[in-house]
Amino acid sequence: MSMTTMGERLDGTDRTRNHQRPVTLAATLVRYDGRPDRRTVYPPGLSSVARMSTWLTADADAFVDLDSAR
């Protein structure tokens, strides 16, 4: 099933309202000399092809501990 960039399926339903199962993500930290470290977050268990379209990377200091942020 195809989706728009806003999370709506092309059939008009909204995937963001499905709270039946928790979302599990994996993270990989890459350390660099002389530039900011980068963290990539992605759903685990995907093939490398599927993972290429479902990841997010940002500077490591953009991420905070969830318990500390509450």
Identify the band that residue 1 occupies on the pLDDT scale cut at 50, 70 and 90.
very low
Task: Establish if 70 belongs to a structural domain.
Answer: no
Q: 59 lies in which domain range?
A: 23-63
Task: Domain count for the chain, please give it.
Answer: 1
| Whether pLDDT at 9 is above 80 | no
Distance CA 48, CA 57 (A): 16
Task: Establish if 45 belongs to a structural domain.
Answer: yes
pTM: 0.61
Task: Establish if 14 belongs to a structural domain.
Answer: no
Task: Establish if 59 belongs to a structural domain.
Answer: yes
Q: What is the mean pLDDT of residues 25-38?
A: 96
Distance CA 36, CA 32 (A): 6
Task: Establish if 57 belongs to a structural domain.
Answer: yes
Q: What is the mean pLDDT of residues 13-36?
A: 82
Q: What is the mean pLDDT of residues 34-51?
A: 91
Distance CA 58, CA 37 (A): 9
